[in-house]
Amino acid sequence: MDCKRSVGVVLFHEFELLDVFGPLEMHGLLPKHFEIHLIAENRGQVQSAQGSKSVAEKAFTDEDQYNILLVPGGRGTRSQVKNSVLLDWLKRQSTSAEYVTSVCTGSVLLARAGLLDNIRATTNKMAFEWVSAQGPSVIWEKQARWVEDGKFFTSSGVSAGMDMLLALIAKLYGQKIAEQVATWAAYEWHQHSTWDPFAKLHGLVH
């Protein structure tokens, strides 16, 4: 696929800021390759977990389809796991999306939507027990910076989303381009998906 890919980023009340804007920095450094769209249940301002607000220019009721989905985590996922409007939208979008990505506890929304059944995935290690309980049919990996399984890329907590996104860029456009993006962002990219000291820190592995 040589044309510009559309990136649909899901916003909801109390989403985690870095979950969204860390990966979007990487997307945004390749404007010839990616076109970014912020989407929420309703258009307008959406408050993050940190208090600042971002503007969703598109709503779930729009008919747009996106090549890549990005689902953040944050405190808001605790209530969004019961939001059938959001979960149904994720189901519809994931059917035609080329790649579906999540950061932190965003994977719980994919799990509750039934998209990760029998799929390998990971999540924020501080919330691992809660998230994994929401998706008992998911193959949850305790120690992973990110996990790639088919078209699904799920990452660990917060900053791990940037490492995951660079891995996706490398898959789509090559290692050299991904390394160039990391350099432009002055970011030290953890290139190995199994690098995960936080799994041990939070008692998930010994």
> Residue ranges per domain, the chain?
5-201
Question: Which single residue is written with the structure tokens 């490398």?
Answer: 170
CATH domain 5-201 topology: Rossmann fold (3.40.50)
Token pair, residue 108, equals 């719980």
For the chain, the average pLDDT equals 97
- pLDDT for res 162: 98
pLDDT in tens, 17-27: 999 999 999 99
Mean pLDDT of 55-67: 96
* 3: confidence class by pLDDT, cuts 50, 70, 90: confident
Whether pLDDT at 96 is above 80:
yes
* 2: confidence class by pLDDT, cuts 50, 70, 90: low
* 1: confidence class by pLDDT, cuts 50, 70, 90: very low
Q: What percent of the chain has pLDDT over 70?
A: 99
Whether pLDDT at 75 is above 60:
yes
Mean pLDDT of 119-135: 97
Q: How many CA atoms lie within 13 A of 167 on its CB side?
A: 22
Query: What global pTM score does this model have?
Result: 0.96
Mean pLDDT of 152-172: 98
Whether pLDDT at 161 is above 60:
yes
Q: Are strands 120-121 and 139-140 parallel, antiparallel or unpaired?
A: parallel
Whether pLDDT at 130 is above 60:
yes
